[in-house]
Structure 1
């Protein structure tokens, strides 16, 4: 990964379920997808699995490949690997960013985000939230409600950094 997905962005979702990918995120998607070097149309991998998740986890081509490698390193046939494969691989979809920097949200993704039926007729809004090697895509209201809940613990986030080191 050339850069980290950073920041929060709000983008309109039109009546055809199209949404523009923020330019900063698009640049990372292009850098992480060898096929996009000439076309500027990177692939985006959208994970909509996980019953308790109220967001869609989004990966670049490189990020999706690394996630798959991590899952493949788990014990074959284990309950954990089977769940990871089901929720993170089977319940995912690959979309291509169009020449104008937009994607069409697939039906499973719209459902996960809470856009049902005619919700988009009047327009909707998506929140893009950077998480270093991936970003999350929420319905704006859901993201803002989650932020309001989580920011109430009086913990300085810098005290959390370095507590748990990743091995491997």
Structure 2
């Protein structure tokens, strides 16, 4: 897909901004600044991100914007976010089971084989990937969004802790490989 134009970014930012305003999630004194941040955010993202986000929840864009801002500081990399999304009934052969679906977002520098490494990391926590969306920014970051099940609780704090523990091991492994 072609890069996002200034007009496309401005239109997407306006749509997201309007949806945020409708939901009551904005403070008027920061409106102009947020519109500018949204426009810049959409300019750095691939066109597919605009399509995905303009049809989704506006609050997701704010989360992504903050995570990418956090990742700008090398000391914070990678940035990981987890949240509970929904519970869906799933029938097994003998009973109805409730499946909790969580979203995990990783933001880090983009590199070859990153998706397979993050997928393996998610799997090591014992999670099943239901969906994955990966966006590479123009400034060489990767925003990787996984919808997963397999965490038996709605709360995401323990899930985030488990993922961060795996990330520490993953980073240590990356450092060891770099010295070989």
For Structure 1 versus Structure 2, the TM-score category normalised by the shorter chain is under 0.3
TM-score (norm 2): 0.25
TM-score (norm 1): 0.26
Structure with bigger gyration radius: 2
Higher RCO (C-alpha 8 Å, min separation 6): 1
